[in-house]
Amino acid sequence: MQRIRINRDIKPMSEFRTGIALFVKQVHDTKRPLVLTHHGKGVAVLLDVDEYESMQDKIELLQDIQTSISQVESGAGVEHSDAKAAVLKRIGM
């Protein structure tokens, strides 16, 4: 995802309401999120669908890594040789 450009990517709700299609196109074309404000405070973020899905994939991967680290730290890990043997057995080698 592109870095947000504060002077271009933060818009008040009133401006967003009058130009929704333009802002959706901007988000799609630039791949940058658009922060919507109401009374000067951030209230929502508009993201491109592909960027959102990419973020979700990264979050899931990071959660899997954290789970793995926790399992290893608690002694629930599997030795490399045991894991390799199990995989080779499963694929018939």
pLDDT at 6 (0 to 100)? 76
- Stretches in the chain below the pLDDT threshold 70: none
Q: How far apart are CA 70 and CA 64, in angstroms?
A: 10
Q: To the nearest 5 percent, what fractions of the chain are helix, strand and coil?
A: 60, 15, 25
Cα gap 19→91, rounded to integer Å: 56
Number of other residues whose CB lies within 10 A of the CB of residue 48: 20
Supply the pLDDT for residue 4. Answer: 82
Report pLDDT for 71.
Answer: 92
pLDDT at 27: 96
CA separation for the pair 1, 47 (Å, rounded): 10
Superfamily of domain 6-48: YefM-like domain (3.40.1620.10)
Q: Map tokens 């799609």 to a residue.
A: 28
pTM: predicted TM-score of the whole model, two decimal places: 0.68
pLDDT number for residue 9: 87
pLDDT at 30: 94
